[in-house]
Amino acid sequence: MELTTVWFILIAVLWAGYFLLEGFDFGVGVLLPVLGRDERERRLLINTIGPVWDGNEVWLLVAGGATFAAFPEWYATLFSGFYLPLLLILVALIVRGLAFEYRGKVDSPRWRQRWDLCIIVGSLVPAVLWGVAFGNIVRGVPISADHEYVGGFVNLLNPYALLGGLTTLSLFALHGAVFLALKTDGDVRDRAGRLAFRLSLPAVALAGGFLLWTQVTHDDTWGWVLSGAAAAALAGAVAAARFRREGWAFLATGATLVLAVAALFVTLFPDVLPTSLPGGDSLTVTNAASTPYTLKVMTWVAVLFTPIVLAYQSWTYWVFRKRLRAEHIPVSHP
């Protein structure tokens, strides 16, 4: 297998890992006003992701860095064409990170309400725009023969991409509700479990419609297989949420996200950014790749350091594996 194909697969794995881990972070943030009825419950929800959210974002940084190093043409065209939505995502992630850090610095309800709003918006915006971005990547965008993006921001707001945005939002919200049911106890756990089942119904409709539209348009055999597997995993998540089996539900929603990302990348291959212009030139794993020497060096670095990162992050989740209750949260900030 050529190194260009290997790195295309590795980038797909990085995005799948990012959606799997950061997905429930976004879901918790979006559901903060729904499940957090008072200050202690809102702090409980934030504490469920407090030890891990910044580590989960590392997957995004590595995916972006790997794309820049392995496929610089893809990175350059993607960031020039998707500049505004990617900037909005970056600003939202920065604001959300600041909210986690500064929310408890002042013992004032108004102060905390403002930062809570930042957490909600900072989770909602990326949850939608990542789906819009990937929808456009798979659909294709106006790229000239010189590999320059020649469209505008409006070109990105097409029905297929917007459906992708609603799909990621619904799946992340479901993933977050299941995570909260798995990570909390008491009344919050019960409400999160009931909410997860209610959220699973629109998630099935949106994700099913998006994957079906994708495969009908591209008609890729492996894409059909992976889309079917994602649909089966999502159906399993619905059943597990219905019978309040939080562990199985979380595994099922995670598998849904991973398989959905895999289906999109398989459908995309060998392109990395197809063109929608008749006279344009699509970016592929061949014409967008770095030199063979660069890919060899990157491969050795990945082989040496990836197991260390995975081991450390797994250890972090193991340390903070216990359920949390509202009673564990002090009545007021120290």
| pLDDT at residue number 70 | 93
The answer to whether residue 308 sits within a structural domain is: no
Does a structural domain hold residue 5? Answer: no
- Quick check: 31 and 45 in contact, CB under 8 A? yes
How far is the CA of 59 from the CAs of 20, 107, 169, 279, 306, in angstroms?
Answer: 10, 33, 19, 35, 11
pLDDT higher than 60, residue 115:
yes
Mean pLDDT, rounded, for 194-218: 93
pLDDT in tens, 252-292: 999 999 999 999 999 999 999 998 888 778 889 998 999 99
pLDDT at 152: 80
Q: Is residue 229 part of a domain?
A: yes
Mean pLDDT over 87-111 rounds to: 92
Residues 6+ apart with CB under 8 A from 180: 28, 31, 35, 45, 48, 188, 189, 192
18 alpha-carbon distance from chain centroid: 5
Max Cα–Cα distance, the chain, nearest Å = 64
Report the pLDDT averaged over residues 180-187.
92
Q: Is the predicted pLDDT of residue 215 greater than 80, yes or no?
A: yes
Residue 321 amino acid letter: R
CA 319 to CA 195: how far, in whole Å? Answer: 27
Contacts of the segment 111-114: beta carbons below 8 A, 24+ positions apart: 112/39, 112/42
Backbone dihedral angles phi then psi of residue 4, each to the nearest 5 degrees: -60, -40
Question: Is residue 258 one of the residues assigned to a domain?
Answer: yes
Measure the CA–CA gap between 252 and 249, rounded to whole angstroms: 5
Q: Where are the beta strands (DSSP E) in the chain?
A: 271-273, 283-284
Does 11 fall in a domain? Answer: no
Average pLDDT of the residues in 109-138: 94
Q: How many domains does the chain have?
A: 1
Specify the pTM: 0.94
Mean pLDDT in residue range 195-223 = 92
Would you say residue 66 has pLDDT above 60?
Answer: yes
In a domain, 7, yes or no: no
Q: What percent of the chain has pLDDT over 90?
A: 67
Residue 174's domain spans which residues? 26-293
Structure tokens at 212: 């079906």
In a domain, 267, yes or no: yes
Please report whether residue 19 resides in a domain.
no
Q: Is a pLDDT exceeding 90 seen at residue 126?
A: yes
Whether residue 274 has a cis bond before it, omega within 30° of 0: no
Query: What is the per-residue pLDDT for 331?
Result: 67
